[in-house]
A and B are shown apart, each in its own frame.
Chain A
Amino acid sequence: MRRIALATLLLAAACVPARAATIEITMQNLEISPTVVSAKVGDTIEWTNKDVLLHSATARNGDFDVNLPPKKTGSVVLKKVGTVDYYCRYHPNMKATIDVAP
């Protein structure tokens, strides 16, 4: 009984790592700001499109492809360690990077 309780406790501890953060990124006037962010696995990236134009956050490695209609937000939860370059499909000059640490 005690062992089960301990196992449960350990499992619970493993499942709840440091509190996940939400990182906000803005798209305005065809610019992504900030262009480089550092995040951790489990963090949420939230993009806000302040333009009247359609944007997207499209990862070059295929990890995510978030459509961002004018004046809307969209988000993704980071699942893998690594550096992800992404861009806007409709405005390929809009480029940015997310560095994901464990």
Chain B
Amino acid sequence: MFVRLSTAIAVICLSSSVALAQGAKLTDPQIAHIAYTAGEIDIKAAKQAIDKASNKEVKQFAQDMVRDHEAVNKQALDLVKKLKVTPEDNDTSKALSKQASDKLAELGKLKGVAFDRAYIENEVAYHKTVNGALETQLIPSASNAELKGLLQTGLKIFQGHEQHAEHVQGDLK
């Protein structure tokens, strides 16, 4: 179960050599942490794009990402508070964060259309990876019904984002 997420992350960050704990079962506090971290990563990427993007549609997409992920993460925070769960940092969250900061640095060097394309391409890939992880690992592993429900809602929203990103990518070509 964990192996597949690790593989997905490994694929997306070919250059990074983050070792993930294999075979460990994810707990709810860890799942909450991963989901929240994944949202924060997309918000950071979007804020960079709001500053740097040259294309209006790309900029608008980035604004949509900030708005939606902040709303979903607020829901997540409210839920963990209600459930008295303390999100717990873990190797998957760490690997995601490391990969994301590398990507931010990489995209930071690009300008204009090259930045727009690279940002959107990464958004498509990133949403695919996170959605895959939600579907096959995080949702099935979640024990608490409310946490599972929030992850399921998140998945539907992020699938919408994936399609939106693909649409913007198509317009850029």
- Measured CB to CB, the residues of A under 8 A from B are 29-31, 51-54, 70, 90-94
Contacts and interface: CB of A to CB of B under 8 A. Distances in A.
Contacts of A90: 64, 67-68
Contacts of A30: 156-157, 159-160
Interface of B: 64, 67-68, 71-72, 74-75, 153, 156-157, 159-160, 163-164, 167
Contacts, number: 35
A52 B164 contact: no
Contacts of A91: 64, 160, 164
A52 B67 CA distance: 10
Nearest to A91: B160
A94 B72 CA distance: 18
Given A29-B153, A53-B68, A94-B160, 6 more contacts: A53-B71, A53-B157, A90-B64, A90-B68, A91-B64, A91-B164
A92 B164 contact: yes
Contacts of B67: 53-54, 90
A54 B75 CA distance: 14
Contacts of A51: 157
Contact of B163 (A53, A54, A93): A93
Contacts of A29: 153, 156-157, 160
18 contacts: A29-B153, A29-B156, A29-B157, A30-B157, A30-B160, A31-B156, A52-B71, A52-B72, A52-B74, A53-B67, A53-B68, A53-B157, A70-B71, A90-B67, A91-B64, A92-B164, A92-B167, A93-B167
Contacts of B75: 52
Nearest to A30: B160
Contacts of B72: 52-53
A92 B161 CA distance: 10
Contacts of A70: 71
B49 to A, nearest CB: 16
A90 B164 CA distance: 10
Closest 8 CB pairs of A and B: A30-B160, A29-B156, A93-B163, A52-B71, A90-B64, A53-B68, A53-B71, A52-B75
